[in-house]
Amino acid sequence: MAGWTESFLGGGDVGAGPEDRDDEANESVATAASLVGAPRQAGFLIRGRRADGSQNSRRGQRSEGDRGEQALPLQGANRTKGQDSSGTGENQGGSAGASPSRQAPRSTDDANLEMRAGAGGSGVLDALRRQMRLRHRALATERAYVDWVKRFIRFHELRHPAELGRIEVEAYLTHLAADLNVAASTQNQALNAILFFYRYVLNRHKELGDLSGIVRARRPSRLPVVMTIDEAEAVLGALSGDSWLVSLLLWGGGLRLLEALRLRVQDVDFARGELRVRDGKGRRDRLTILPERAKGPMREKVLQTLEAHKADVADGYGEVELPDALARKFPLAGFEPGWQYVFPADGRSACPRTGRIGRHHLFETTVQRHVKRAAKRAGLGKRVTPHTFRHSFATALIENGYDIRTVQELLGHRSVNTTMIYTHVLNRGGRGVRSPADLGSRRG
């Protein structure tokens, strides 16, 4: 297979070219401001800005790249450090197209792993990215799968995937478990990535069979780390700013970290005391609790977000990424206040899929770092992460007598068996048994 490294794993386009915006379209923040009881604010001018800084001001027209956008296949994106934080998740949508006028330079990594392109001249990794986006996989999942396919090919010394079959797949997955001692979840992710690649890109999944020769990593049975109410409050007391408010939502509403960071202004219902979680794990929506003590800080945060959005729009930006194809159906919806993230990032960044410059949500690593430091300052000896607040939320509800089905709905679990793990706290030190050492201490 001489020469296969000259065309494999080619880096794709940054993404769809930005659409021209109507320079006379005015959107006000009145709707969003009314949600938080703020006075009506004046409207502001919406202007489109390209990633290169140029503005579009023609009314009712599209650029050449935009007119051809729907007919172009979606190309992959090579994210570099400093781009927006959507890599964890879930920037799933905007326009599904790629502007041929804006090409991202290939990374050194991809250039070293290139191979013969398939039909139509598209790289295999670009085809993998397209298949992932066709099925609405998260951006974090897309990046993980691409990385696993690269590792798989490197392991077999850059042999062409057409030469690799069941034996090679089993050898690589066995290597992960036996030589690298990876966790069962890591091996399963690698397996899922390779199966996806063979099924939807190479169309050879049937040749793999049942892969019964794999040495599987053992999945340990672990119990979640939880905090008492006093411990949770102590950690909250050592936090401040956005990290404190996000952690309060995790503790008071049982949200996952990314679910809290992806909250939009319209997802906060102050009147009903509810938070609407959109497109959560498993692509399921649900309602959960907005704590009473969080309402005041959330109102202030929403107002700050709307002010920042107004300033962005005045500068020619202000568009936020929308789920799936909403950006194509409603071109100006991304500028609406209701769609803005409640917890926006401090600065603007380019979306790795669409290339549009805007303000994404806060980095999840920022909250993770602050919570870890707060736990140390609070003197907790256990390992505390933002997800620990979610575990503690579920445990506290069960301890206070709430029905397990109610807790399941608030957490968004598909199966009640997943929720049942939190009942371990009710056992209190070994199924409710009092230690004989404690019984004997009374005699002393």
Tell me if 371 is assigned to some domain: yes
**Model pLDDT for residues 245-296, shown as the tens digit of each residue:** 999 999 999 999 999 999 999 999 999 999 999 887 777 889 999 999 999 9
Strand locations in 347-390 (E): 349-350, 357-358
Q: 34-71 pLDDT, tens per residue?
A: 444 443 333 333 344 444 444 443 333 333 333 333 32
Same domain membership, residue 284 and residue 149: no
DSSP 328-339: HHSTTGGGSGGG
Whether residue 248 is found in the same domain as residue 202 = no
Query: Does residue 56 sit within a domain?
Result: no
Pick the last residue of a domain from 153, 187, 221: 221
* Structural domain for 204, as ranges: 1-28+85-90+108-221
What are the C-alpha distances in Å from 111 to residues 7, 75, 105, 158, 175? 8, 16, 10, 12, 26
CA 45 to chain centroid: 31
Gap between the terminal Cα atoms of the chain: 81
Same domain, 158 and 241: no
pLDDT for res 440: 63
Q: How is the beta sheet containing 286-289 ordered, strand by strand?
A: 268-269, 274-277, 286-289
Q: Which residues are catalytic?
A: 256, 281, 387, 390, 413, 422
CATH number, domain with residue 266: 1.10.443.10
Q: Are residues 14 and 154 in the same domain?
A: yes
Nearest to 20 by CA among 292, 344, 356, 275: 356
> Do residue 211 and residue 260 come from a single domain?
no
Domain identity same for 282 and 416:
yes
Q: Decide if 334 contacts 327 (C-beta within 8 A).
A: yes
The number of beta carbons lying within 10 Å of the beta carbon of residue 3 is 9
Q: At what angle do helices 124-134 and 184-196 cross, to 10 degrees?
A: 100
Q: What is the pLDDT of residue 124?
A: 85
- Statement to judge: residues 137 and 235 lie in one domain: no
Structural domain count of the chain: 2
Kindly provide the residue ranges of all beta strands, DSSP E only, lying in 290-354, ordered along the sequence. Answer: 349-350
For position 433, what pLDDT does the model report? 65
**pTM of the predicted model, to two decimals?**
0.65
Residues lower than pLDDT 70 in the chain? 1-122, 212-213, 215, 424-434, 439-444
pLDDT of residue 139: 83
Residue 245: its pLDDT value, please? Answer: 97
By C-alpha distance, which of 147, 216, 212 is closest to 177? Answer: 216
In this structure, are 269 and 409 located in the same domain?
yes
Q: Could you say which of 167, 188, 221 is where a domain stops?
A: 221
Same structural domain, 292 and 415: yes
Question: Is 386 a member of any domain?
Answer: yes
Together in a domain, 287 and 401: yes
Give the pLDDT score at 222.
77
Residues 295 and 343 in one domain: yes
Could you tell me if residue 41 is inside a domain? no
Give bridge partners of residue 27 from the DSSP assignment: 44
State whether residue 269 is helix, strand or coil: strand
Considering 187, 221, 255, which residue would you say is the last residue of a domain? Answer: 221
- CA 244 to each of CA 175, 360, 362, 374, 394: distance values in angstroms, whole numbers, following the listed order: 42, 19, 13, 10, 19
CATH of the domain at 143: 1.10.150.130
pLDDT of residue 133: 87
pLDDT number for residue 79? 35
Residue 244 in any domain: the answer is yes
